[in-house]
Amino acid sequence: MELIREAAGALGLENPFFRPHEGIAGATTRIGNRELINYGSYNYLGLNGDARVMRAAQAAIDRHGVSASASRMVSGERPGHAALEQALAAHYGVEAALAFVSGHATNVTVLGHLMGPRDLILHDAAIHNSCTEGARLSGARRIAFAHNDWQAAEKELATARRAARRALIVIEGHYSMDGDIPDLPRFVEMARRHDAWLMVDEAHGMGVVGRTGHGIHEHWGVDAREVDIWMGTLSKTLSGCGGYIAGNADLIAWLKHSAPGFVYSVGMAPALAAAALEALAILQAEPERVARVQRNAALFLRLAKEAGLDTGTSAGLAIVPVIVGSSVGAARLSQALFEQGINVQPILYPAVPDSSARLRFFLSSEHSEAQIRSTIDAVQAAMAGARPAEIPG
């Protein structure tokens, strides 16, 4: 990123990162007194800013103040924590859940704590940084398999399983960079056959994947109890901040009493737990929001393909990349669109290989068809005006 900051300066581009937004970022956002169409926020169902979610958060502040003021194990437990965890467990149809103060920290501490040096962690090559950091911390043997290639995963597992005490496969339910989804039944079956655990990070799947937004298990018709560890964040569809693990009662009780990122960290702010609980209730009561985000993303994907844009392997559920092919090209395209009133973030090396640098569009239930059509027209025109091959660097 430092390289990009320097390169952007040399090319006369603005730094596309850390721009302050005013107001509530939804289908549009306000940056520097301009209202832009916004594809930079993972407010998938428009619930950040929903009056009911904000009222729930305000009521929790009135009752408890803004902080839990201690680790939950000591004096930080508030009624909203257990209420949220019970609702999350019921949403998946599993025994229990545990909420952590950060999604990133959830993966780091759970993977780092659960697995050890004699174990094996087999993960998708495109897995989120929080999972690779957790895997590193664990000291386990780590093997990355080619993105979304279950056959490659199985080959690696068959070879490496015997030497390992325990094995864990880690995948995402909806990949954050590519917007595609895994063949969950294949992974469930392979985990059982090779005596491995399966962990699915549903950060981007909740509220987006499956007919009613229950996630990748709903999409495939798989019983959620077939997956050993469900992980998710509260920062996306659920409009809060924090992470969670859902699974069987023994796993959750063990994490609750021993995972360092839970035991030695402050309890989630009561307002964030209350906001996420209310957002979850709205997700369940208003499945039309899920249908809208899926319809918007499918329209965006179809129009992008018709315009000849490279959208990679996106499933068109909420995340659609437009692959540009160089970090500098992606930064330039992002700036050209910004100047035309469209906020979309470039994803640059080292987050992805330079050759697959891209713009990443987060669609929401609140985008209009007119916004989507004008955006595709603008991307097509900007790319026609500055083909990556013509861009120096």
Question: Which parts of this chain interact with ligand PMP (CB under 6 A)?
Answer: 102-104, 107, 128, 130, 172, 176, 201, 203-204, 233, 235, 243
Q: 356: closest CA among 175, 133, 206, 208?
A: 175
Closest residue to bound ligand PMP by CB: 103
Minimum CB distance to ligand PMP smaller for 290 or for 347 = 347
Q: How many CB atoms lie within 10 A of CB 128?
A: 23
Exposure b/e, 152-181, CB count within 10 A at least 16 = b:
bbbebbeeebeebebbbbbbbbbbbbbbbb
Minimum CB distance to ligand PMP smaller for 164 or for 276 = 276
> Do the beta carbons of residue 171 and residue 127 sit within 8 Å?
yes
Least distance from C-beta 233 to ligand PMP, angstroms?
A: 3
Question: Is the dihedral angle over the CA atoms 283, 177, 103, 55 positive or is it negative?
Answer: negative
Minimum CB distance to ligand PMP smaller for 233 or for 371 = 233
Instruction: Note the residue count of the chain.
Output: 393
Minimum CB distance to ligand PMP smaller for 124 or for 383 = 124
Q: Is 350 exposed, middle or buried (0-12, 13-18, 19+ CB in 10 A)?
A: exposed
> Do the beta carbons of residue 105 and residue 245 sit within 8 Å?
no
Q: Could you give phi then psi for residue 211, rounded to 5 degrees?
A: -60, -40
Q: What is the C-alpha to C-alpha distance for residues 254 and 186, in angstroms, rounded to an integer?
A: 28
Exposure b/e, 112-122, CB count within 10 A at least 16 = b:
bbbbeeebbbb
Q: What is the C-alpha to C-alpha distance for residues 133 and 112, in angstroms, rounded to an integer?
A: 8
Minimum CB distance to ligand PMP smaller for 164 or for 273 = 273
Minimum CB distance to ligand PMP smaller for 80 or for 240 = 240
Minimum CB distance to ligand PMP smaller for 74 or for 266 = 266
